[in-house]
A and B are shown apart, each in its own frame.
Chain A
C-alpha cells in the first residue's frame, strides 16, 4: 500500500514537472522570430523631419543582438553594442546589453514586436515610441569599421 502511494506521488510529481516544462518552453518559444539583419527606416519623424544624422543597423541571432549606430555630428564610423534578447509569447522584446543596461531604457519594459514581411515595427511599451526597421544586410564596411563606444582598450580591439 505504501509502495502504491509512493508510486502515485512520483507519478504526480513527474506529471507536474512535465506540464511545467512544457508550459515554460511554450512561453519562451512562441514569440515572433525576429532573427536577421535590420536597418532603421522610420522613427516617427525624428529622422526625417529634423534631418538628424541617425543611422542604425541591428542584427538579431539566436538570442544575441549586435547594434551598429551612428548618431551624432559628422561621425565617421558606427559604434557597436551587443547583448542578449528574447521575444516573449506575447511578442515583447526584452534583453540586456553586455554592460548590463536593459533594452528599452531604465524601466526595461521592452518593445512590442510586430513583424510584417520585411518590416519590423518595435513599439516601446512605456512611451509608445515607434521605430520601424526593414530587413537589410548590414554593409561589411559598417561592421569592419565599427568601434566600441567606450575606451577601446577595455574591449576586444575592433576590426579596422
Chain B
C-alpha cells in the first residue's frame, strides 16, 4: 500500500516537474503565456498567489525569488539549471546553504536572483517558477524612480541676505532659505519668515559628528567635491589596501567611499551622460562641509574642523537611466547596515500600488532588506538597538506616500515650499510622516524661479542628460533643485544632527524613542492650510499651468508638521513637564511634547497611567485626549507620569490592510499645582 502511494506520488511529481520544466522552456523561448497553452497544467501547479507584484519597468532577463526555506536552494538551482536559468544569491556573500537558520541574515539569504535570456516572457516565467515547491515568492525586479525632476538651476544672484545667527562663513549660506528663511521676496513673492528647518540656532549646540554615518542611496555622489570631500565616509581598509581586491572581507572590491551597485564597482560614477547630479545635491544638504569659506552649508556638515561633521556613505543605485532595480537597492541597503550607517537616506520610491503595509512588508524583497537595516546596530552608540530609514514621499501629487517610504517602519517626507505650504508636486496623505523644505519653482506665481528651490552641491563638471528628447546640461558646483528628494535629506540631516548631539551628551535612545522625538520636533502646518496658493497646478486633463492650488486638500495629510532642528535638540536634552492646576478640569497643550502641530495630530484617546500616579494627582476620572489636548482634572498637588500615543502620517494607523500612520508614544510628566500658566512659566 505504502509502495503504491509512493509510486503515485513519484508519478505525480514527475508529471508536475515535466510540466513546469516544459513551461519554463516555453517561457524562455517565446512570449506565449503557458497558462493559455492548454497543456493540462492547472492553478494548483501554477500558484499565482506567490507572485507578489506586477511588472512596472522591470529588468529584463531577471526575476527575484524567495526560497521557501534556506534548505531549498540547491534543489531549485538544479531544477532551473536544466532549463538554462541561473539561480544566484541576491546578496553578495550570503548564500542560503551557508546561512544559519534563525540568524539576522536568514531572511535575506532566502532571496535569490534568477538570470535568463532577456527575450523571455517575464509573466510566463514568473508563473512557471512559482509552481516549484521550493519557491515561496516571486517578485518582478522592477526599477525604482527618483523623487525629483532632475532639473538643476544655477545661482544667478549673490548671497546678499545675511544669516545673522549662523556661525559659518560659507558664502552661499544666505541663499539657503531652507535653513534660515527671513521671508524676503528675493526668495519668492510669498516667501514666509520661519519657513525653514530652524537649524542656525541649533548649530550653536551641535554641527555633526563623524561617528554618525548617513548612507546616501541615490545617484553617484561626487566624493571629491570640494564642499563634500572632508565629510565623506572612508573605508580605511580599502583606501589603504590593494587596488583590485577586497581588503576588508566584505567581498566588495575597492569600496572606499561606498559602492556603485549599478556597475558593480567601487568607482562611484556621478558624471556619465544621463546623470543629473541628484546624488551630489542630496548629499550636500545632509552634510556639505560647513565653515570652509566656500559654497554652501549642510545640515550636519560640521564646523569646519577635521573631526566634525557627519559622514556620507555613497551608495550608487542609479547611473543615469540605469539601475535602481529592486535587487540593487536591497543589496545597497544591506551594505549600509553592515558597514555601519545609522541613517538611510533614500530620495526614491516605486510605483507599485501596494494596498497596505502588510501587503508591502510581508511580501517583497525591499521590505525585508529595510527590516534588516532598521533592526541592525549601526556605528552610532546613541542608537544601540537599530537604525533609521528616511524616504521621500514622492513627486506625483498622489494622495498617499510611495512605498517603500510609506511602510510603517520608514519615515516618509513631504515637501513644502519657501512659503511653508505644500509644494504642488508633493505626495501627501496616508504613509506621509513629516514635512520639510523641498523647494518649488513656481511659488507665488513665479515662472521657473530658482531661488525658491533648494540650493546644494552639484558635480563640478557639466553632465549631458536628456529631457523630453532635448539634451540639457547640469549646472556646476552648486545649484538649485526641487522635489521631495530635496525635502528628504533635510530630515536625514536633522536626524543626523540629533544623533550627534545625543553622542555629545552621552545619551542613548531606542530607535522608537528617537523616531518619536524626530516626528514631534515640528512646527504646525495645518493651521495655515486654508484657501489657495499660487503655483503650478494640473488640470483634470493633465494640462499644467499657473493657478490656484487648493490647500484644504492637504489638511492633516502632510505629516506631523515641518521639521525643526532646534526642537529636536531640545527634546534630546530632556522633556519638559506639563503643568496643570489643581481643582479644575483643563485642556493642556501638547505642543512642548508633540511639536507645534500637536493639536492637529490624531491620538489614541485613552491615556495610560498607573494606579499610583492616578492617586498622586487625586484624579477622579481618567485623563483622555480630546481635541488634540490632554484633558485632565487633578484634585491635589503632585506629579505623575502618563503615556500618550499619537499617530503620525494619517488619521488612523495602518491595520495592515491599509496605508496608515506610525505610532508615536511619549511618556509625559504632569505637575499639578495650585496655579498654572498657559505658557508653562513657573510664576
Contacts and interface: CB of A to CB of B under 8 A. Distances in A.
Interface of A: 40, 43-46, 50, 52, 54, 56, 58, 65, 67, 69, 71-77, 79, 81, 97, 99, 101-106, 111, 122, 124, 126-129, 147, 149, 151-154, 157-158, 160
A53 to B, nearest CB: 8
A50 B616 contact: yes
B675 A76 contact: no
A56 B579 CA distance: 14
A154 B564 CA distance: 13
7 contacts: A46-B638, A58-B683, A69-B682, A72-B575, A76-B505, A152-B566, A157-B165
Contacts of B201: 152-153, 157-158
Contacts of B638: 46, 50
Max count, chain B CB within 10 A of own CB: residue among A76, A111, A124: A76
B675 A124 contact: yes
B581 interface: yes
B596 interface: yes
Nearest to B180: A153
B159 interface: no
Given A72-B576, A97-B681, A160-B205, A129 B675 contact: yes
A127 B577 contact: no
Interface stretch (B378-386, B411-419, B666-674): B666-674
Interface string B641-680: 0000000000000000000000000000101011111111
A67 B683 contact: yes
B475 to A, nearest CB: 30
Given A50-B616, A65-B683, A153 B677 contact: no
A51 B581 CA distance: 19
Contact of B574 (A52, A75, A122): A75
Given A126-B674, A153-B198, A81 B639 contact: no
B564 A72 contact: no
B637 interface: yes
Interface string B497-522: 00000000100000000000000000
Given A52-B671, A103-B683, A44 B205 contact: no
A75 B573 contact: yes
Nearest to B640: A50
Nearest to B681: A81
B191 to A, nearest CB: 15
A77 to B, nearest CB: 6
B577 A72 contact: yes
Contacts of B523: 151
Contacts of B180: 153
Interface string B603-619: 00000000000001000
A56 B682 contact: yes
Given A52-B639, A81-B681, A129-B637, A73 B574 contact: yes
A80 to B, nearest CB: 10
Q: Which among A101, A105, A152 has the highest number of chain B CB atoms within 10 Å?
A: A152
Contacts of B683: 58, 65, 67, 81, 103-104, 111, 122
Contact of B669 (A56, A72, A149, A152): A72
B204 interface: yes
B592 interface: yes
A67 B681 CA distance: 8
Given A151-B198, A151-B596, A160-B204, A73 B675 contact: no
A38 B42 CA distance: 86
Interface residues of B, number: 44
Contacts of A154: 194
Q: From DSSP, what is the main secondary structure of chain B's interface residues?
A: loop
A101 B675 CA distance: 13
Which of the listed residues A103, A149, A154 has the most CB atoms from chain B within 10 Å of its own CB? A149
Given A76-B505, A105-B581, A46 B679 contact: no
Contacts of B676: 105
Nearest to A129: B674
Nearest to A49: B638
B674 A124 contact: yes
Given A71-B577, A72-B669, A75-B573, A151 B682 contact: no
A74 B678 CA distance: 22
A58 B681 CA distance: 11
A153 B566 contact: yes
B194 A151 contact: yes
Contacts of A152: 198, 201-202, 566
A74 B575 contact: yes
Contacts of A160: 204-205
B627 interface: no
Given A50-B639, A72-B574, A74-B574, A129 B673 contact: yes
B570 interface: yes
Contact of A149 (B165, B581, B673, B679): B679
Given A105-B581, A153-B198, A153-B566, A73 B669 contact: yes
Nearest to A104: B675
Contacts of B639: 46, 50, 52
Contacts of B678: 101, 106
B560 interface: no
Contacts of B204: 157, 160
B494 interface: no
Contacts of A46: 637-639, 671, 673
Contacts of A102: 677
B677 A97 contact: yes
B70 interface: no
Nearest to B193: A153
Contacts of A79: 576, 680
A127 B583 contact: yes
Contacts of A58: 683
A126 B582 CA distance: 11
Contacts of A153: 165, 180, 194, 196, 198, 200-201, 566
A75 B581 contact: no
Contacts of A105: 581, 675-677
B50 interface: no
B564 A151 contact: yes
Contact of B573 (A52, A77, A149): A77
Nearest to A95: B683
A45 to B, nearest CB: 8
A151 B576 contact: no
Contacts of B582: 127
Contact of B567 (A43, A75, A151): A151
A40 B673 CA distance: 15
Nearest to B198: A153
A153 B338 CA distance: 39
Given A71-B576, A129-B673, A152-B202, 16 more contacts: A45-B637, A50-B616, A50-B639, A73-B574, A74-B574, A75-B576, A76-B574, A105-B675, A128-B674, A129-B675, A151-B198, A151-B523, A151-B566, A153-B196, A157-B165, A157-B204
